Amino acid sequence: MVERISDILVDISKYFESNPSDLNALASFLKTKIHEIYSNFTKFHKGYCSKFPIPTVKISDTIAKYTNIDDKRLQSAFLNEWGLALEKSYNMYGNSFYHYLLILILYASKINHEELFNTCLQLILFRIWNGRLTKAIKYCDPDTMEYVVTKMTSAKHLVRRFSDPYHLITGYFVPTLRKTYMERLKNNNDMLKRLFNQCYSRVHQIFYQNYRKDLLTGENKAVSGLAPLYYKAKEESRSVIKASLLPKDEEEVRDFSTGMTTSGIDELVDMVLNSMIMAAYPKYDESIIGRISRESLLKDAGIQKLIEKIHSPKYEAYLKDALVLFLSLIPMKQKSVICSNRFYNLVKSYVISTKHHQKINDYRRILDILLTNILSEYNVDYNSYSSVRKAHFRTALTYLLAYNIQKQLCSEEG
């Protein structure tokens, strides 16, 4: 019997219809992996020299577990349907990591599960990015690459619009590919291969563009894109040496608009986290509960449920990332400001009501993951809410974080 992608899709659909909790668990797992990848990505950030630390085996094994689909069967279906020889080895087309994510993308398109579609597409693009970067620039020097991005590319190039490959993929490639292919996949499974090829092509074009014939060799070679520009800069010894511009003690770099050192911010975050985790039964002032209730339209009982969960070591990693981003969004971080009545107005202006940009999108994405996990403990599906209602939940959680920052930093102020 020749395996077909459509047959496997039918089996997955039947399985999730009988086991809906497995679909929710799988979607939550993949979102958590995205968060972990991003968190580790930022720790070793090297601009456009960065790679994504992807736990490919763990992801493949977990998808297999929650879909009840064997990777050999899946591989056979993809290779058969795409007209490829089963006995040959294919780095991309024969890779089960991609197969599992692609079949979930196809399933997500059928049931209009946009979040699952996005998550799987991100993971595919992360893996493709790693492969393209390794092949294009084997030993990538961040200082040389920064020079290329800032000095040698035009304003039209995508790398000038997005600070690193993570934001390029999540902020541009994923939404544009979803807009083009999600609706088409509902009625045409053949679009899956085209989507996969487009994932490769779009990443490849970041590195190689504008092919021309080399007059000496007769070969077509790219004259623009990150790879040829990088090697040109390398030959000319051009780079942005950031290390020479930094103070000797990098821990004491000051945010001149705030007066608080980066080490001071890290210390404050750790103090707030420790205080929250140790306070198993915290008491919040009625004034902050009232403000949250008015602005988030959550009832007091709902706010208390959020409070119960954020005072737990279970969500420490998410809370730490959220606190760091939260503080980066506040323009004035002097103790006198945080400990004044102005603080909550600043929080509302710069965190809750601000327009979309990369940092605020990162902050909201972390809160969404955190709220998904918290509400699931009460058997509530956060993602079933409208975007407006999700904003209400984020407002509540943001004020709770602000309260804990103020309480920790200003306790001696009375």
216 located within any domain? no
Sign of the dihedral through C-alpha 147, 151, 152, 153: positive
**Across the chain, what does the average pLDDT equal?**
84
153 located within any domain? no
341 with 401, same domain: the answer is yes
129 with 202, same domain: the answer is yes
162 located within any domain? yes
Dihedral over alpha carbons 269, 270, 275, 277 (to 10 degrees) = 110
323 with 380, same domain: the answer is yes
258 with 201, same domain: the answer is no
166 with 46, same domain: the answer is yes
Count the residues in the chain.
414
| Short-list 216, 220, 247, 278, CA closest to 404 | 278
201 with 261, same domain: the answer is no
Query: DSSP code of 355?
Result: P
The amino acid sitting at 109 is S
| pLDDT average, residue stretch 253-268 | 50
**How does residue 256 score in pLDDT terms, banded at 50, 70 and 90?**
very low
Per-residue pLDDT of 306-325, as tens digits, reads: 998 988 888 888 888 889 88
| pLDDT average, residue stretch 33-44 | 88
What is the Cα–Cα distance from 392 to 302, expressed in whole angstroms? 12
166 with 285, same domain: the answer is no
231 located within any domain? no
| Short-list 180, 183, 176, 178, CA closest to 161 | 176
244 located within any domain? no
Q: What is the pTM of this model?
A: 0.62
49 with 185, same domain: the answer is yes
**How does residue 245 score in pLDDT terms, banded at 50, 70 and 90?**
very low
Structural domains counted in the chain: 2
233 located within any domain? no
186 located within any domain? yes
**Are 27 and 80 a contacting pair, CB within 8 Å?**
no
173 with 257, same domain: the answer is no
Q: What is the per-residue pLDDT for 27? A: 94
167 with 42, same domain: the answer is yes
Q: Which structural domain range is residue 274 located in?
A: 253-413
333 located within any domain? yes
277 with 407, same domain: the answer is yes
